[in-house]
Structure 1
Amino acid sequence: LDQPDFWCREADGQGNWSGTLTPIHANHSGNGSIFPPPGLPTPAGGNASECGCREWHYRIRAGLVQNVVSKWDLVCDSAWKVHIAKFSLLVGLIFGHLITGCIADWVGRRPVLLFSVIFILIFGLTVALSVNVTMFSTLRFFEGFCLAGIVLSLYALRIELCPPGHRFMITMVASFIEMAGQFLMPGLAALCRDWQVLQAVIICPFLLMLFYWVIFPESLRWLMATQQFEASKELILQFTHKNRMNTESDIKGVVPELEKEITRRPKKVCIIKVVGTRNLWKNIVVLCVNSLTGYGIHHCFAKSMMGHEAKMAITHNFYADYYTMAGIALASCLAMCPVVGFLGRRGGLLLFMILTALASLLQLGLLNLIGKYSQLPDSGMSDSVKDKFSVAFSIVGMFSSHAVGSLSVFFCAEITPTVIRGGGLGLVLASAGFGRLTAPIMELHNQKGYFLHHVIFACCTLICIICILLLPESKNQNLPENIPDGEHYTRQPLLPHKKGEQPLLLTNSELKDYSGLHDSAAVSDGISENTTANGMKSM
């Protein structure tokens, strides 16, 4: 969907080309550079006469001979259809995350994964056979919907299958595999040469994911949390059989306990139940805002680095620009590993959000100050100094904002209870989709309001810094299984208190439950008679 440079080549009455070319520059997005226009004379006339051309020639930058724009001549009066095609995929992702997340909590992760893979094969291959841009945009919506189901179900399965010490490592391995696919994409496009062939080649590997139904079982954690004890027992027996273990050596007596509870009805929960909680809804909302801000401001930094109105592009080659963006994302993932390992989830998220806010505020404030001084005759500053500062701040901002978005999704997956983890992940991933949606919206308005767009997200970063302090720390902690477990995930100090010092925050054992999620009998048993209203024992 990249908008190429295009020009008109007119023909005489006998069908012979006159040799006169009218170069027209496309309004490029920030994910590539602009080729110089053809060095040919431009006849006089306005845009109306140029758009009246019957035959267009294109210069496509992404290694393809033909793309969607050149196939259906989506230029001039039809250029808005390109933005609709971009909207359709992102809107499909947003709706897909919200809907498939709730379905995954109700029917399980495996069925959502299987049906999403089947339908993305159907819709993805049909996209390659589109006969017009309307059919293309509609099918892209459903393709994005199914892709959201795959991403969400795989993310939930990874989190629930891993022990506490390996959750972040496995998530980073998945991110590196995603980065590898991003690095291979331009070469794959150069080999395919046509967008329809490229679309089919991208979709065909999903055939291998059909074997996931045989390889990966349903999440045992989700089955136990939703009290599906009969299915849990069958899955445990299947594990013991494959591992050649003797069921008689069951020291803890798990299987007999499950047999006693088989008659109980499954208890499934919808994400709407989180509204009645005290802490859980706050944590999810904070992470949704962080995800929205991280992915939304990322476009502002990318636009500044590649050049607003093509004035500050750091290179003049599509592949160099593409791999620069991908390299920054890879460096961000690499930096997240030691930072999160040392500072934890909350400390790492706070650090990257502070870097994002500093880069944004310096780019908005300092660059304007440099621009004013560069206009003075004796200042010794030029526009090139301002451009270099802008590129530097943009690289730092893209680096940190990518980490903010990724950490927000991972953090939400850890602190959301198992019974509603799909819905919680759907909310934070949908927020990330809304952040990405700002890029095509700005392109549709020809970058009008770009500065205000950046200012709004810069203010959001400051709000997020304060809100991150309200989040709990989930490093090396067991996943919460039900809503009461998630409600007791309370925040801890960033720095541990000194020995002999009275902690300012209550521990879980001292925290009295006012949410109404526990039975009154259970609450009264866990709190002594001399406990005051604020949860502290009387002297």
Structure 2
Amino acid sequence: VGAGLFSVAGTLLLPGLAALVQDWRLLQGLGALMSGLLLLFWGFPALFPESPCWLLATGQVARARKILWRFAEASGVDPEDSSLEENSLATELAMLSAGSPQPRYHSLLGLLRTQVTWRNGLILGFSSLVGGGIRASFRRSLAPQVPTFYLPYFLEAGLEAAALVFLLLTADCCGRRPVLLLGTMVTGLASLLLLAGAQYLPGWTVLFLSVLGLLASRAVSALSSLFAAEVFPTVIRGAGLGLVLGAGFLGQAAGPLDTLHGRQGFFLQQVVFASLAVLALLCVLLLPESRSRGLPQSLQDADRLRRSPLLRGCPRQDHLPLLPPSNSCWAGHTPEQH
């Protein structure tokens, strides 16, 4: 969410920078130079150390111990002379190091051997694709209502900031899945209403539906990434998150395609994305709720994430259909408890 807000700030600053430079070649070179300088910092381990959680999950205990000790020393804590809890952690790390486990690296192909995780990743990638691609339909409907050149640009940046603030206020108290379900439902409903009645609705209604659809679609894209970071296990979290983000950028390719001169078939594109939004609404119901849960470390841990009812019921188990009965809420209970 913080990275999204920085992206909004860059979007708002870009027109001013373009007005100062006034040469798109110089502007492009300046942007590439600044990005390259920032990316160079990622190569310094002192500034951006590797994740100890990932190192421990993949069996690289020695490297994880060095980084954790560095964190402790930077916090002013002596790892060799600390509290009982920290000493127990040091003892556990020493025992793991003595075993000398071989590093266990994983790839996205490991998802093919899972029962639930691959489906969760597919649904989140699909929702990110729809959220990124359906924006072209809302921009197309918004353009006649807002003829000013800069106003739609700044409006979209403001809507992205509003979507991120909305997630900050709701995703933690209401849960990831209900908010994603709400955003997908609003996106699909706004798209269907514009598709069916854009020619008959008054201008203010079309403007309202376009703004609402852009807001909801941006919330869906951002929440899909957040959801993916909590559903994918630590051993492949980076690759899984990249897959979901890549699906979102692939969907955004519908925007430049729409602006091609003389291009036909926009109505068909709008129909396709509206239908995909309705399908994504049904798929979101299959996702587990990740709020207030520990992050899964291994593929087996991620496969234990099961769906739960939206409003009430067992919070950590799944007694809904489409999964084996052994995973239900009543599994492991005696007949008297039933």
TM-score tier by shorter-chain length is 0.7 to 0.9
Cα pair 2:319 2:325 within 8 Å, conserved: no
Structure-1 residue corresponding to 2:203: 387
Matched, 1:256 2:91: yes
Structure-2 residue corresponding to 1:216: 48
Cα pair 2:180 2:220 within 8 Å, conserved: yes
Matched, 1:273 2:110: yes
Give unpaired runs (5+ residues) of structure 1. 1-171, 307-311, 371-384, 514-531
Measured in 1, the distance between the counterparts of 2:197 and 2:147 equals: 24
Measured in 2, the distance between the counterparts of 1:367 and 1:242 equals: 60
User: 1 or 2 for the larger relative contact order (CA 8 Å, sep ≥6)?
Assistant: 2
The letter for the 2-side match of 1:431 is A
1:192 CA drift (Å): 0.7
**Aligned to 2:102, what secondary structure does the other structure show?**
coil
Bigger Rg over Cα: 1
Measured in 1, the distance between the counterparts of 2:75 and 2:158 equals: 42
**Aligned to 2:101, what secondary structure does the other structure show?**
coil
The letter for the 1-side match of 2:244 is V
1:313 CA drift (Å): 4.4
The letter for the 2-side match of 1:436 is Q
1:442 CA drift (Å): 3.1
The letter for the 2-side match of 1:294 is G
Structure-2 change in CA distance of 1:218 and 1:398 (3 Å): same
Measured in 1, the distance between the counterparts of 2:247 and 2:253 equals: 10
Cα pair 2:176 2:291 within 8 Å, conserved: yes
**Aligned to 1:275, what secondary structure does the other structure show?**
helix
Of residues 171, 189, 192, the one that matches 1:361 is 192
The letter for the 1-side match of 2:123 is V
**CA offsets per residue over residues 249-269 of structure 1, 9 Å max, x none?**
252422232233221111111
**Aligned to 1:200, what secondary structure does the other structure show?**
helix
The letter for the 2-side match of 1:217 is P
- Could you state the TM-score of these two structures normalised by the residue count of structure 1? 0.56
Cα pair 2:135 2:255 within 8 Å, conserved: no
Measured in 1, the distance between the counterparts of 2:180 and 2:108 equals: 24
Matched, 1:447 2:263: yes
Matched, 1:403 2:236: no
Structure-2 residue corresponding to 1:456: 272
Structure-2 change in CA distance of 1:504 and 1:255 (3 Å): closer
The letter for the 2-side match of 1:322 is Y
Measured in 2, the distance between the counterparts of 1:261 and 1:200 equals: 49
- Taking the TM superposition and a 5 Å limit, the aligned residue runs for 1:144-223 are 172-206=1-35, 207-212=37-42, 213=44, 214-223=46-55
Measured in 2, the distance between the counterparts of 1:442 and 1:367 equals: 18
The letter for the 1-side match of 2:190 is A
Matched, 1:335 2:166: yes
Structure-2 residue corresponding to 1:154: none
Measured in 1, the distance between the counterparts of 2:332 and 2:279 equals: 31
**CA offsets per residue over residues 506-537 of structure 1, 9 Å max, x none?**
8xxx9858xxxxxxxxxxxxxxxxxx9x9444
- Taking the TM superposition and a 5 Å limit, the aligned residue runs for 1:130-141 are none
Cα pair 2:124 2:224 within 8 Å, conserved: yes
Structure-1 residue corresponding to 2:156: 325
1:210 CA drift (Å): 3.2
Measured in 2, the distance between the counterparts of 1:334 and 1:256 equals: 42
Of residues 315, 318, 321, the one that matches 2:147 is 315
The letter for the 1-side match of 2:32 is I
Structure-2 residue corresponding to 1:422: 238
- Could you state the TM-score of these two structures normalised by the residue count of structure 2? 0.88
Of residues 53, 57, 60, the one that matches 1:225 is 57
- Taking the TM superposition and a 5 Å limit, the aligned residue runs for 1:528-539 are 535-537=331-333, 539=335
Matched, 1:413 2:229: yes
Of residues 285, 289, 293, the one that matches 1:473 is 289
Matched, 1:433 2:270: no
Measured in 2, the distance between the counterparts of 1:241 and 1:473 equals: 37
Measured in 2, the distance between the counterparts of 1:416 and 1:472 equals: 11
**CA offsets per residue over residues 450-477 of structure 1, 9 Å max, x none?**
1111111111111111111111111122
Structure-2 change in CA distance of 1:239 and 1:496 (3 Å): same
User: Number of aligned pairs?
Assistant: 321
**CA offsets per residue over residues 265-301 of structure 1, 9 Å max, x none?**
1111111111111111111111111001111101110
**CA offsets per residue over residues 83-105 of structure 1, 9 Å max, x none?**
xxxxxxxxxxxxxxxxxxxxxxx
Give unpaired runs (5+ residues) of structure 2. none
**CA offsets per residue over residues 42-96 of structure 1, 9 Å max, x none?**
xxxxxxxxxxxxxxxxxxxxxxxxxxxxxxxxxxxxxxxxxxxxxxxxxxxxxxx
Structure-1 residue corresponding to 2:183: 352
Measured in 2, the distance between the counterparts of 1:347 and 1:435 equals: 23
Measured in 1, the distance between the counterparts of 2:286 and 2:81 equals: 47
Q: Percent identity?
A: 34
Measured in 1, the distance between the counterparts of 2:204 and 2:140 equals: 14
Cα pair 2:170 2:179 within 8 Å, conserved: yes
Measured in 1, the distance between the counterparts of 2:237 and 2:157 equals: 29
1:208 CA drift (Å): 4.2
Measured in 2, the distance between the counterparts of 1:359 and 1:198 equals: 37
Give the root-mean-square deviation of aligned CA atoms.
2.4
Measured in 1, the distance between the counterparts of 2:213 and 2:262 equals: 23
Structure-2 residue corresponding to 1:47: none
Measured in 2, the distance between the counterparts of 1:435 and 1:321 equals: 20
Structure-2 change in CA distance of 1:192 and 1:416 (3 Å): same
